[in-house]
A and B are shown apart, each in its own frame.
Chain A
Amino acid sequence: MPVDASPSDFESALKPLWLRAQSGDDAAYRQCLGLLAARLRAYLKRRLSAFPDEVEDLVQETLLALHLQRGTYDPTLPVSAWAVAIARHKLVDLWRRRGRREGLHDALDDVDEQLLAAEPQDAGARRDLGLLLNLLPQAQREAIVLTKLEGLSVAEAAARTQASESAIKVQVHRGLKRLAALVRGDTPP
């Protein structure tokens, strides 16, 4: 799909993929996150002209938030509207942390018009998530490393760590939440 597709083309391509991802299709989910990352990068780059180095970090922070809040997506909504609302929330949060007062001038509901041509290049975030992973508590880090980095199934990870399968899932979720919090509060080196 061309990266500079119009917002409505983007949405009509994204939505069926996203619905499959929501039902458990990991490959579709991976594809959706890639598409969203490119669009969000362009959206945030336009609004972070004062802090260009922060763009990729905010893209990653937003992707983490999208993942952790997948349950709040309502199928009657456009996926891009949902994703941009989350991105904008993170953006406002960043401005508040950087001392700029809240007060967005673009209309709250005008989300679709804000999506521009996508930016596929991954400039690389400043915060090293790999380092932040090491800051997680042992159980959370282990669950994430085993299931997400080493590619073990939940059952295999449970057998390796002598924990239950639901315990592994809980630790992964908590670990990602902790990672998101670290990405929020961490100051770049």
Chain B
Amino acid sequence: MKTDTLIDLLARGAGPAPRALAWRRLSPAGVAGLLASAALAVAAFGPVPAAMWATAIPWAKMAYAGALALAAGWLTARLSQPAAPLVRPQRVAAAVVLAMAACGAVSLWREPAGARMAALLGQSWAVCPLNVLALSLPALAASLWAVRGLAPTRPRAAGFAAGVLAGALGACGYALSCPEASPAFVAVWYTLGIALTGALGAALGPRVLRW
């Protein structure tokens, strides 16, 4: 077939292009991933005591994870569009992580010197990142599926962004079950879990995001 014939074929009856495509795919994937993470967290680890919801703790965790999810979602949407600029969503994501790190640092500084290590490590520092990663897996599958239907021209970066999105959604679900109270704990171990999911996404990206 000559290229001109193909062009005629594509153009005939083409109609308007679909709009806001990236968000229309990513939003339902994100919601599904978040619900899956929340359900798994409660089923596997049990919910935190009701009294904890009267404190700021679980809300603060969800605020951090939610803000990072939105920033990572924005970055993922951009990476799903060829040649789209990335600077602004990258800056917002970095700002969210740094803000949480600053909160964590301030909270540690406020602790008496002997209690700082205990606050930072909590009771579950070793399992927390792995739990976040595990809870993020459905969200990772959903996000990668969403991106795969778009046009990522940098598959490793797009995989990483989708992984950070999934990790943040997983962390949001984990906040329903996590008994830890220190902002420093959240800044380090939640972020590590999110980064691990990002790394997994980056590893899968070049293989999965072909189109």
B-contacting residues of A (Cβ < 8 Å)?
21-24, 26-27, 29-30, 33-34, 37, 56, 59-60, 63-65, 67, 69-74, 77-78, 81-82, 84-86, 88-89, 93, 108, 111, 122, 124-125, 128-130, 144, 147-149, 151, 153-154, 176
Contacts and interface: CB of A to CB of B under 8 A. Distances in A.
Interface in B1-44: 1-22
Q: Chain A binding site: helix, strand, loop or mixed by DSSP?
A: helix
Given A22-B17, A74-B84, A82-B83, 14 more contacts: A29-B11, A33-B10, A65-B151, A69-B150, A72-B82, A74-B81, A82-B82, A88-B153, A108-B154, A124-B2, A130-B1, A148-B10, A148-B12, A176-B10
B80 interface: yes
B91 interface: no
B14 to A, nearest CB: 5
B21 A72 contact: yes
B1 A71 contact: no
A72 B88 CA distance: 18
A122 B12 CA distance: 20
A147 B16 contact: no
Nearest to A133: B1
A82 B81 CA distance: 8
Contacts of A128: 1
Interface in B142-175: 150-151, 153-154
B83 A125 contact: no
26 contacts: A23-B16, A24-B15, A24-B16, A29-B14, A30-B7, A30-B11, A34-B4, A64-B6, A64-B10, A65-B151, A65-B211, A67-B10, A69-B150, A70-B18, A71-B17, A72-B81, A72-B82, A72-B151, A73-B17, A77-B84, A78-B83, A81-B82, A88-B153, A125-B1, A129-B5, A144-B9
Interface residues on B, range: 20 to 34
A86 B153 contact: yes
A33 B153 contact: no
Interface of B: 1-22, 80-85, 150-151, 153-154, 210-211
Contacts of A129: 1, 5-6
Contact of A71 (B4, B10, B13, B21): B21
Contacts of B20: 71
B160 to A, nearest CB: 15
Contacts of A34: 4, 7
A25 to B, nearest CB: 9
Contacts of A33: 7, 10-11
A19 B172 CA distance: 40
Contacts of B22: 72
Contacts of A73: 17, 81
B50 to A, nearest CB: 45
Contacts of A72: 21-22, 80-82, 150-151
B82 A86 contact: yes
A78 to B, nearest CB: 8
B6 A60 contact: yes
A26 B9 CA distance: 11
